[in-house]
Amino acid sequence: MSVDVTELARGVTTRSAVSVARAISLVEDRRPAQEPKILSLLANLAKSPNVAACRRVGITGPPGVGKSSLVSALCRALRAQGHSVGVLAVDPSSPRSGGALLGDRARIVHDPDDGDVFIRSMASGGHLGGLARAAGAAVDVLSAAYDWVLVETTGVGQSETDIEHVADTVLLVIQPASGDMLQFIKAGILEIPDVLAVNKADLGEVAARAGAELRAALEALGTARTPPVVHTSTLTGEGIDELVRVLAEHRDDIADLSARRIEKSAQWALRLFTHRYGELGVDDRGGPSALRAELSRLIASGASSLSAVAQLAPR
Ligand code: GDP
């Protein structure tokens, strides 16, 4: 398939769903011959003024807490406020079969005729914790098109930490009485989210108790900033508008968004680089800190994470 990258980028920035879908398929294409096109597309899209304005939210949490339901509810609330929304749902998949664990079911409910909502799922392929290799680039594509980009991943091990590399704001979703809290504290996961949602607030007393326990756990961590906790219910709609407000507030309060994005993209690029060239490749570049600084410099001067990785390929 021959691709006119300039035309494709124009389609993405004018929010053509066909173009956005084709652009994401292109960044998922692993054939080496496609790489120049992918890099050129990303460079083209990076020029879109929408990228700086876009709010990118990573949504993570254990299976079954209601992430997909919450993403559907957030989409509806954001659309009601006139915002366009792009969603990337990353499903865990077995590296052996390559098939998504949760199958191909459309888990997020939306109006198929609404051109201002775009939903795409991606199998993680077992790489990079719970995030797909192409997730960062797919987020870059969506960021050129939509006001809000929501990236949903299931909390399986590393994904909670990886998601922060491609999002401005990380939302951790938990549910009452799930016993996950102790695990989160042990694994250091509570230190990652910028905002927390205790979903299934309609369960009443048990939800209120979970919220109180969570606040106590967060305070015990003694971090500089205790993240806000919002009680939500996708059944009753409780807390959904408040969640939108809190997410927007977090994103809009980031003092230097562009520096933060550069830093996070460099971390993501380091993950990609290590995945591609192994630790020997990283050592060849002077070790992780030196390499990250180099990646950071390239990204600060306009390179995408993928292009920075390509430029620093081991000699
Ligand atoms: P995910 O695996 O985290 O994406 O969770 P889902 O969105 O698939 O939801 C898991 C289950 O929880 C489903 O049966 C939902 O109907 C249910 N669920 C989601 N949100 C709520 C809620 O706010 N209250 C209640 N009681 N159930 C919910």
Which pLDDT score is estimated for 100?
41
Which pLDDT score is estimated for 98?
38
Q: Are 194 and 226 in contact (CB under 8 A)?
A: no
Q: Does residue 65 line the site of ligand 1, with CB under 6 A?
A: yes
- The protein residue with its alpha carbon nearest to ligand 1, atom 27, reads 200
Quote the ligand 1 centre to 177 CA distance (angstroms). Answer: 14
Per DSSP, the residues of 245-282 read: HHHHHHHHT-TTHHHHHHHHHHHHHHHHHHHHHHHHHH
Quote the ligand 1 centre to 233 CA distance (angstroms). Answer: 9
Which pLDDT score is estimated for 165?
87
Q: Does residue 199 line the site of ligand 1, with CB under 6 A?
A: yes
Full-prediction pTM beyond 0.95? Answer: no
291: left (phi over 0), alpha (psi -120 to 50) or beta: alpha
Quote the ligand 1 centre to 65 CA distance (angstroms). Answer: 6
Q: What are phi and psi of 229, to 5 degrees?
A: -115, 125
Quote the ligand 1 centre to 66 CA distance (angstroms). Answer: 3
Q: Does residue 64 line the site of ligand 1, with CB under 6 A?
A: yes
Which pLDDT score is estimated for 142?
98
- Three-state SS for 148? strand
- The protein residue with its alpha carbon nearest to ligand 1, atom 15, reads 66
> Which tokens go with 182?
């102790």
Which of 69, 121, 180 has most ligand 1 atoms within 8 Å of its beta carbon, as the pocket-test mutant?
Answer: 69
Which pLDDT score is estimated for 160?
57
Mean pLDDT per segment of 10 residues, for the chain of length 315 residues?
Answer: 87 96 93 92 95 96 91 96 94 49 51 86 65 85 98 68 87 84 73 92 91 86 85 97 98 94 94 91 94 96 92 84
Which pLDDT score is estimated for 106?
42
Computed over its alpha carbons, how large is the radius of gyration of the chain?
A: 19
